[in-house]
Amino acid sequence: MKKILAVLLLAIVLIGCGPKMAKQETMDALAEARAALEAAQARIAELEDTLAELQAQEAALTDEIAGLEQEIADLEMKIDTRCNK
């Protein structure tokens, strides 16, 4: 009988000390934090896309600059060739 009573008391104590539900304030703060995280992740994805576009533009402009420099060198060579004759 004493063992049963001890087990019952222990069970009541454990149930009373068990996990409790979070307060509404905590749940609201958590929801707000999740929304902020999702917004930040969307912004990161947007910025990564923009970065990729800008890197592609940089590569294209670098190629164009190289082509223009070659064209300048060719024209300078033609000028030098014609002026020396």
For 85, the 3-state DSSP assignment is coil
The pTM (predicted TM-score) of the whole model is 0.58
pLDDT over threshold 90, residue 84: no
Position 85 confidence tier, pLDDT thresholds 50, 70, 90 = low
State the Rg of the chain over Cα: 37
pLDDT tens for residues 10-53? 777 666 665 667 788 888 999 999 999 999 999 999 999 999 99
Contacts of 27 (CB under 8 A, 6+ apart): none
pLDDT for the residue 19: 61
What distance in Å separates the CA atoms of residue 27 and residue 29, rounded to the nearest whole number?
5
DSSP conformation letters of 4-26: HHHHHHHHHHHHHTS--PPPHHH
